[in-house]
Structure 1
Amino acid sequence: MNTRIIRVGNSQGIVLPKKLLQQYHLVGEVDLQPTVEGLLIKPVAKPRREGWDERFQHAIAQGQTPEGELLEGFSDDAFEETEWQW
């Protein structure tokens, strides 16, 4: 399959046909890897939600509230103090 390199603002890019995007599950962010044959485009896994069920079960088994273990590091107190309005 051939396609053309086109100007996109100050950069250049290619247009991928919808069928290819669907076939290879390319949505949003992709990983580009140079290879000997050319450029490999791979979907980026969304690890934020992977394993949530197991983590909830583990937290409950440990007698913890799931929110405490699972959301650790996701809280931004500075945002809550400066941006959030009650």
Structure 2
Amino acid sequence: MKTKIIRIGNSQGVRIPKPLIEESGITKEIEMILRDNEIILRPADMTRKDWEASFQKMAEQGDDVLLDQKEIEKPSDWDETEWTW
């Protein structure tokens, strides 16, 4: 489907036909992504959808620890030379 870019104040935009909006599930907010010279529009509620359940599952499986915990806790050269304990 082709459409024209229209002027909206100092910006530009496109009109999205109602059937496309209804079919896509877009309601009030969208997420806009630029990927490989393509603009992707999708419902904003898809962003981080089900993250809470995924984090809960990770916690139950013990898979919610930092992978670099030992590196983070290891003192650096700066810690050893600059701090007075």
TM-score normalised to structure 1 length? 0.51
One-letter amino acid of the counterpart of residue 27, structure 2: V
Do structure 1's residue 9 and structure 2's residue 22 form an aligned pair? no
Matching of residues 1-86 of structure 1 within 5 Å: 1-45=1-45
Unpaired runs of at least 5, structure 2: 51-85
One-letter amino acid of the counterpart of residue 41, structure 2: I
Structure holding more helix per residue: 2
Aligned to 1:56: none
- CA drift of 1:28 comes to 1.2
Aligned residue pairs total 49
TM-score normalised to structure 2 length? 0.51
What is the CA–CA distance in structure 1 between the aligned matches of 2:15 and 2:45, rounded to whole Å?
22
What is the CA–CA distance in structure 1 between the aligned matches of 2:28 and 2:8, rounded to whole Å?
17
Name the SS for the 1:45 alignment partner. Answer: helix
Aligned to 1:66: none
- CA drift of 1:37 comes to 4.7
Unpaired runs of at least 5, structure 1: 52-86
Following TM superposition, where does structure 1 have runs of at least 4 consecutive aligned residues deviating by more than 2 angstroms?
none
State the identity %: 31
Point out the more displaced range, 12-21 or 37-46: 37-46
